[in-house]
Structures are given as structure tokens and as C-alpha cells.
Amino acid sequence: MRDTDPAGTDPDPADPAPGVDLRDVEREAAMIRLFDGQHARLVRLAVLLGADQDAEDVVAEAFCVLHSRWYGLRAPQAAAAYLRSVVCNLVRLRIRRLQVSRRHADVRPDPVASAESTAMLHEDRRQVVDALEGLPTRQREALVLRYWLDLREREIADAMGISTGAVKSHISRGMQALSRAMGTRSGNGGSAGGGSPCWSSRY
């Protein structure tokens, strides 16, 4: 015979244990859903932004930051956008640190792509991604968020912490620079404009 509480009702197995905050239970469940639904997408985002072999670590750190600041979100639905913003910031910081260390050490970046980034990208996207890596950080972020994640300008502005006007400027300048870089690499003056790049979400 099953035990019952003093009121004579069966305990609900879904109820949290005594002393457990129900908000914490809901947060952990939401974090699991986010990880299952967003992890691979965020790793690809980090790779395209320039995280290279550190992409997995960047995304793991982003989830840790979200976990620690969960109760500061305006709503649970804002978690995915917050993760994108944290990934952008962490990759940006990583690039800055690498630039400083290379400047002091006077070393050049290794031209060989990491195993992680190679596995994440189709071979026929590699030329575009190589050209993308040569863009200024903000232009690269704007293009990746717009054409790969297919975000609206307002969402890109939130992720990058800038105005929608600045987003438009970065996208426009980035596409022009990418067109020039692709034309130089192909040797035929071809343009990367006129549509979504081959690494976009519609590829």
C-alpha cells in the first residue's frame, strides 16, 4: 500500500522536493530545452564569427552566463536572444585578445582551419568563410546574424548592442567588402551581393 500524506491524499511525484525552489526547477528545465534546441546552431554561429577551435567553449560559457543571470531576463522567451548576444560578445573579446597577443608576439595566424570549423562548414562554403574572416568584426557579425541566422534588423541590433541604423551600415559595408574579397579570390571580379551568401540559413 502506498503512503499517503496526513490529509489522506497521494503525494504528487512531479512536486519538487521540500525546500526546492520551484523557480529553480523551471529554470533547469528551460535550460535543457534551450541546450537541445540551440547548442548546435550557436556553435555554428561562433565558428562563423571567428571562434574557430574555441567555438564549443564559447557556447558553453554563454550557457553558464545565461544560467547565472536567468532571473534577470525580462522573460524566459528572451533567453535565446540573450544567448546570441553573449556569444557575439565572447567571440569579440576572444578576437581582441588574439589580436593583442599576436601584436606583442609578432606572430601570424595559422592559415590552417581547425578540425571543428572544417567539420562545421561545407567545403564549398570555405572560400566565402575565409573572405568573411577578413572583414572587421562588426561587419562580420552583422552579416552572419542577418544572412545565416536570418534575423531581423531589430534582433541583430539587440544581439550586437547597437542601433538598427548602425546594423544597416555594417551590413551594407560588409557586403561591399565581401564582394571585393570574393572577386579578388576568384580572379574574375565576381560579386557576393545580389542575394543571400552561400553560408546563409537558406543554403
Nearest residue to 62 via CA among 117, 146, 74, 49: 49
User: What is the helix (H) or strand (E) element at residue 119, kind and residue range?
Assistant: helix 115-120
Least confident of 3-12, 66-75, 144-153, 165-174: 3-12
**C-beta separation of 79 from 73 below 8 A:** yes
Tens of pLDDT, residues 116-126: 555 555 554 67
Distances (CA, A) of 22 to 10, 17, 18, 28, 37: 20, 9, 10, 10, 23
Q: Which three cell numbers stand for residue 64?
A: 553558464
Residues in the chain: 203
Where residue 15 falls (left for φ over 0; alpha for ψ -120 to 50; beta otherwise) is: beta
Q: Which three cell numbers stand for residue 135?
A: 572583414
- The residue among 8 and 177 whose pLDDT is bigger is 177
Nearest residue to 30 via CA among 84, 72, 66: 66
pLDDT band at 191 (very low <50, low <70, confident <90, very high): very low
Distance CA(38)–CA(55), nearest Å, equals 14
Average pLDDT, integer, range 68-92: 95
Q: Which three cell numbers stand for residue 53?
A: 577551435
pLDDT band at 157 (very low <50, low <70, confident <90, very high): very high
pLDDT band at 127 (very low <50, low <70, confident <90, very high): confident
Radius of gyration of the chain from Cα atoms?
A: 22
Q: State the pTM of this model.
A: 0.71
CA 90, 95, 101: angle at the middle one, nearest 5? 125
Phi, psi of 94 (to 5 degrees): -60, -45
**C-beta separation of 56 from 43 below 8 A:** yes
Phi, psi of 32 (to 5 degrees): -65, -45
